[in-house]
Amino acid sequence: MSNSNQATETKSSIVITPEALLEHWQGHRKLTRKMIAVFPEDKLFSYSVGGMRPFSELVLEMLGMAVPGVKGVITGNWQKLNELPAHLKKAAPTTKTELLDRWDEATEALNVLWPQIPPHRFLETDTAFGQWEGPGYFFIFYWIDNEIHHRGQAYVYLRSLNIEPPAFWDRY
Amino acid sequence: MSNSNQATETKSSIVITPEALLEHWQGHRKLTRKMIAVFPEDKLFSYSVGGMRPFSELVLEMLGMAVPGVKGVITGNWQKLNELPAHLKKAAPTTKTELLDRWDEATEALNVLWPQIPPHRFLETDTAFGQWEGPGYFFIFYWIDNEIHHRGQAYVYLRSLNIEPPAFWDRY
C-alpha cells in the first residue's frame, strides 16, 4: 500500500473535523443562550422542579467546564474557575443580562481558544481537572452532552411555567 | 510535503474514530436503559410535567431514529419505522419489559450495523428521512443529542416523583 493510499484511507474515516465540532458545540450554545434569554428573570435564579437546581446554576456549571476545559485540553493544565486567584475570580451573576454577558464572553473565548488545540490532543489521554481520565474528545463530548442534558431539564422548567421553549433543532 | 507527512497530519487531526463514536453512543444508551429500568411502570406510559410527552413516547422517538437512521447513513435509503410495510410494523410496547426488549434489540442492531457505515458517509451530505440535509455525522450527532435532551427531561420527571435517577456519568 502506498503512502498516498494510506492518506486517502485515513482521511476517509474522519467522522468530524475539529472545525465542525466547534461549530456543533457553538450551535448548541446558541440554543442554550436562547433558553437563558426566554427564561423569566425572577425564575432563572430560583425556579426548580423536583428539588433540582435553578437554571442559572446549571448555566454556571456549563460555563465552569467550557473555557477552563478547553484550556486544559490545549495545555494539559487544568484549573477550575473556583480555584483561580482571588483577583481573577468573578462573582456569580445576579441578573439575566450578566449571565448572558458571561455566556457571550465564553463564546468568544472558545472561538479564540479552539484553533489552539493541538490536533493530537483529541485522542491523547489526560486527566481532566485532576479527576477524570480519558482522551481529549471524551472530555469535550462530556461538556457538550452535559449542556444538552441540563438544558433538557430547563425545557421542563419552562413548559411547567407555561412558556414555549425554542425548538431543539434551532441552533442558529 | 511528502505523502507520508500528509498521512501523519491527517491522522493527527482525527477527533474521534467511528468505533469510539459507537462506544460513546452505546454508553449513553446504557444510561437511557437505566432510566427506563428505574422508571415506575405505571408512570412510564403516562407521567408528564408541563404537558410534555411521557417518557415511553420519548424512548419510542429515540428508537424511531437510531436503527432506521443508521441504516440510512449506510445505504442512503431512509425509511421511517411507521412507513414500514404492515407485516413488519410492531405495535407500540405497553409494558416496561417490552420497551426494554425493544431497546435491547436496537442495541444489538446498532452494533451489527455500525461497522457497515462506509467511512466516507460520515462527511458526505445527504437528506435524512427525505427532510433534513447535512453530513452523516450531523445526523448521528442529532440522534445522540436528541436522546440526551429527552433523557434530561426524564430526569426531572423522576426527581419530581421523588426517585433518584442514575448519575449522568454512569454509562457503563
pLDDT digits (tens, 9 = 90+) for B28-43: 999 999 999 999 999 9
Q: Is the pTM of this model over 0.90?
A: yes
Q: How far apart are CA B64 and CA B106, in angstroms?
A: 10
pLDDT at B7 over 60: no
Residues of B in contact with A168 (CB under 8 A): 146, 149
Task: Name the pLDDT band for B12 (thresholds 50, 70, 90).
Answer: low
- In DSSP terms, B125 is beta-bridged to B135
Q: How far apart are CA A95 and CA A45, in angstroms?
A: 8
How close is the nearest chain B Cα to the Cα of A104, in Å? 22
Whole-number average pLDDT of chain B: 92
pLDDT at residue A11, rounded to an integer: 52
Residues of A in contact with B160 (CB under 8 A): 49-50
Q: In CATH, what is the architecture of A23-160? A: Up-down Bundle (1.20)
pLDDT tens digits, residue range A157-166? 999 999 999 9
Q: How far apart are CA B24 and CA B35, in angstroms?
A: 17
Spell A2-38 as b/e; 16+ CB within 10 A means b.
eeeebbeebbebbbbebebbbebbebbbebbbbbbee
Among chain B residues, the shortest Cα distance to A160 is held by B50
| Domain residue ranges of chain B, discontinuous segments joined by + | 22-160
Mutate to test the interface with B, among A10, A15, A17 (most CBs of B within 10 A): A15
- CA geometry: angle A149, A152, A155, nearest 5 deg: 160
CB atoms within 10 A of CB B78: 19
| Grid cell at residue A13 | 474515516
Task: Name the pLDDT band for A100 (thresholds 50, 70, 90).
Answer: very high
Between 3.40.50.80, 1.20.120.450, 3.40.50.12780, 3.30.70.100, what CATH number should domain B22-160 receive?
A: 1.20.120.450
pLDDT at A90 over 90: no
- What secondary structure letter does DSSP report for A166? P
pLDDT at B73 over 90: yes
